[in-house]
Amino acid sequence: MTELHLLSGSAATAPADAVVVGVLPARSDDGSEKAAPRLAPGAAAVDAAFDGELAGLLALAGATGRADEVVRIPTRGTITARVVVGVGLGAAGDDGPSAEQLRRASGAAARALAGTDHAVTTLSWPGTDDLAAVAEGTLLGAYAFTDYKKAPGRTPVHRVDLAAEATEATEATDVSGAEAALHRAMAIATAVTTARDLVNTPPNDLYPASFADRAAALGEAAGLEVEVLDDEALAAGGYGGVLGVGGGSSRKPRLVRLRWAGGPAPRASVALVGKGVTFDTGGISIKPAAHMDHMTSDMAGAAAVVATAVLVARLELPVTVTATVPMAENMPSATAYRPGDVLRMYGGRTVEVLNTDAEGRLILADAIVRALEDEPDYLIETSTLTGAQIVALGSRTAAVMGSDVFRDRVAVLGRAVGEDAWAMPFPEHIRGELDSRVADIANVTGHRHGGMLAAGIFLREFVPDGLPWAHIDIAGPSFHTGGPYGYTTKGGTGVPVRTLAALLADIAENG
């Protein structure tokens, strides 16, 4: 992973290969027909070395300040670094660029710096909030998954120094505060990249047993309590949902539990649950062949929950966190579960299976009931649950359902950290459409309308009234299939690790 350090001196004289400056579009109220873009705050020392002409030089090279735009110009000895990298931030408000603009610009700059040994960024000016966003964006933008490539290409930028020059407005810069912000940002980015690595690992290498082993190793290294149930233990415990979904595969299911006790005085107890379908063919209700390879990401919720549990321990948050992670591979075979089967779930409720491709809710129901035995104050579950989420909200916005107040809290915090999220309702008429002829509930309705909401309502059946809880459907946001943008690279995104981290930090502070 790219190294990050705080820069104590000036970016203009730092012994680096490249210096990153932010570029803003020309002011809309500037009457000039050829108004040049503007430099973002933090670039003053570098601009002074160019006699105040840096913005104009970047404009000559094509810079406009458009978001994600990257332009390079040689310095010709004007400053110590050989190259200035101008990165567009997009239009900013009166208070300057937002944290997400800085995060995205830093990610774009980090991708452009691949193959560079040492760079300095001025985007971290003026305070710890900006510094944290720049640190996260830099590390996430520099991320590359090359484990299976013989020729991995250019290596990520080796080291980036974050400049935070003191000015009249920031001359009282808190160095210890900056160091703490950097430490937290690096821990969060590491958790996100851990989740990305898990999602990007192909399913022939990441299957329930190997996923469980990796989760256990991560948990043990972080000092977590670890429990792993194999298929025999699941059968003995009555986990009918996990066993039903995993029954068609030669790779038997698992259930992993990771627990952080919260230190000497935890503020609250939180249950995390994540869907860990390591590959989803749809089972007997098999999926179309096109894009089935994307189903390597069907364990993204589990990856996020595992990474978050480890993160909480490393940040030593005063919150008891227990992650319950069911893992199964949904395959068609002579031993696969069928449409028409009735599964007896953990806890005794029965479910009629009308579609074996609605498998995630079955393993999650088992895990939710097990997680509730710990009597948590809050429950958060995340999963690539429905393709209907992408139909409703697109590929970059997560859907959040659950108890109204807590659901809204999760959605607001998700948007605040740059993981777009939107609260969705539970229309009561849909519950009746899940009635079963032979069991307590069916796993799908008889039609496609409102499929995302129906899945959330199914999960609600296993959550007691009065418990603050949220379900985050990340079917789209967890796996990016297009070209990279900002700090988002192709493949696993690590969503919603940053949302979960913000939520747990909020609970630690406010209960």
Question: Looking at the annotation, which residues are catalytic?
Answer: 287, 361
- Assigned token pair, 465: 């009234």
Handedness of CA 437, 442, 445, 446 (dihedral sign): negative
CB atoms within 10 A of CB 349: 18
Find out whether 453 and 400 touch, Cβ atoms under 8 Å: no
- CA 353, chain centre distance (Å): 31
- Altogether, the residues listed in the chain come to a count of 511
- Cα 402 from Cα 464, distance rounded (Å): 11
- Cα 245 from Cα 337, distance rounded (Å): 7
Residues facing residue 71 across a β-bridge: 86
Burial class (CB in 10 A: 0-12, 13-18, 19+), 34: exposed
Q: Which residue has the tokens 């296993």?
A: 462
- Cα 250 from Cα 333, distance rounded (Å): 9
- Assigned token pair, 31: 């009457």
Q: Name which of 242, 266, 505, 274 is nearest 376 in CA terms.
A: 266
- H-helix segments, 201-281: 208-221, 231-237, 240-246
DSSP 407-433: HHHHHHHHHHTT--EEE----THHHHT
Q: Tell me the longest C-alpha to C-alpha distance in the chain.
A: 80
Name residue 209's amino acid.
A
Q: Strand 421-423 relative to strand 38-39: parallel, antiparallel, unpaired?
A: unpaired
